[in-house]
Structure 1
């Protein structure tokens, strides 16, 4: 029986008083012996945390007492051991950097599609109106090495700030397609989905909850391989178990502890 609960969560919401908010939230994390990473910005929060389930769920319940964070949802997985070495709590300018400050997901999200509805589309090959469906991988190249959706559009980018130029270069050839952008947990797609709409890609969606939610609700097909995660587990199988050690391809400079 796996004893350590892992959560991934994010929420775009306008925040102020960040130093004070960081201090009291970090105190709560430390009092519950949580480990992982929290990014706090004026546009919201992003978290990867692990601990005993009662402590971690208790922290999420505490955080939701603040009306700003009441809508927060989490994606859960389990591990035999603590996958983080320490508790990091950083103040940043953006949850995920894209260098397009006019895109503000807290003011309105892009269209999204649930994992099970996406499975229906992919099984059929078209959306409900008969348009071909193209999966758009917004992740960096080293993440894609671990796995991606079959026949996904890949850009071989090194950082997310390169995504706007990459997708714009394909705009004309995708005009009659339905696009579904995806990433690990959904956070990058909050901005990529808005950007695609901004440049005129009207038939575009984001995968709700990202690959991890798809694993949780659907499984693997037609996803091939595993999903890189930013902790000691390295990557998760569609079962949400860690990849076996013999399948490790940890060799990129972007991996961090």
Structure 2
């Protein structure tokens, strides 16, 4: 069956993140899992791999905490374990933006389902007839592996550059429906909130690129999707490049 790889995140208040860290580390290690879990007051972000039964049982256990009940995971497979060890870190943010007013745990930007985005791209406009602007919120080196056809790429070197770049490119986003996207959804969730806070009609792609691959495949996509493990990149069928 192979190794099950999962990625998941949830913006939810975790003021006890320091106490959670050793408990989650011990449980993951005991289950034979490897990967990374990031904990912050704003939520959790994780990438895990291991025996399918053990991975899924670990996620079930996480969801027993009411704050994590809504945690959903995207699955993919590999022949070998793509992580070298199990790391659990406490961070100021699960994805750093340095904009404390952006709080997805309190209010969420509207999302576009993968099937809806494909329909918009097929027809060349959204359901209201407005042009659609796809905005890649990932770092430049990730974009170079692959992205949506005609997507805007601001050549970011880190996500903290996004707010300044958004101000520079504001005119390009006017009078369009903007769909921000990223690997799994975490960056584009903050990005869409920031854009809406500044008057842009912005949405996030539900589930990110990996969610789009899972539900739609590679329509309108060119190349692969970079992932932060030893698989390096995934094709639209969610298989590893190597």
> What interval of TM-score do these two structures reach, taking the shorter chain for normalisation?
over 0.9
Q: Deviations over 1:159-202 (max 9, x none)?
A: 0001111122121232111100000000001110100001110x
Question: Structure 2: how far apart are the matches of 1:125 and 1:231?
Answer: 35
Q: Deviations over 1:100-148 (max 9, x none)?
A: 0011000010011000000000001100000001100000000011000
Partner of 1:75: 74
Partner of 1:108: 107
Question: Structure 1: how far apart are the matches of 2:172 and 2:54?
Answer: 49
Question: Structure 2: how far apart are the matches of 1:173 and 1:81?
Answer: 43
Question: Structure 2: how far apart are the matches of 1:139 and 1:64?
Answer: 28
1:230 counterpart SS class:
coil
CA root-mean-square deviation: 0.8
Question: What TM-score results when the alignment is normalised by the length of structure 1?
Answer: 0.93
Find the partner of 1:241 among 224, 233, 239. 239
1:105 counterpart SS class:
coil
Partner of 2:161: 162
Question: Structure 2: how far apart are the matches of 1:78 and 1:37?
Answer: 17
Question: Structure 2: how far apart are the matches of 1:186 and 1:19?
Answer: 25
2:6 counterpart SS class:
strand
1:134 counterpart SS class:
strand
Q: Deviations over 1:55-110 (max 9, x none)?
A: 00000000111111000000000000000000011000001001100110000100
Gaps of 5+ in 2: none
Partner of 1:249: none
Partner of 2:228: 230
Is 1:28 aligned to 2:27, yes or no?
yes
Question: Structure 2: how far apart are the matches of 1:67 and 1:113?
Answer: 26
* Count of residues in Structure 1 that have an aligned counterpart in Structure 2: 242
- Tell me how far 1:24 sits from its aligned partner: 1.1
Q: Deviations over 1:4-31 (max 9, x none)?
A: 0000000000112222211111111011
- Tell me how far 1:43 sits from its aligned partner: 0.4
Question: What TM-score results when the alignment is normalised by the length of structure 2?
Answer: 0.98
Aligned structure 1 segments of 4 or more residues deviating by more than 2 angstroms: none
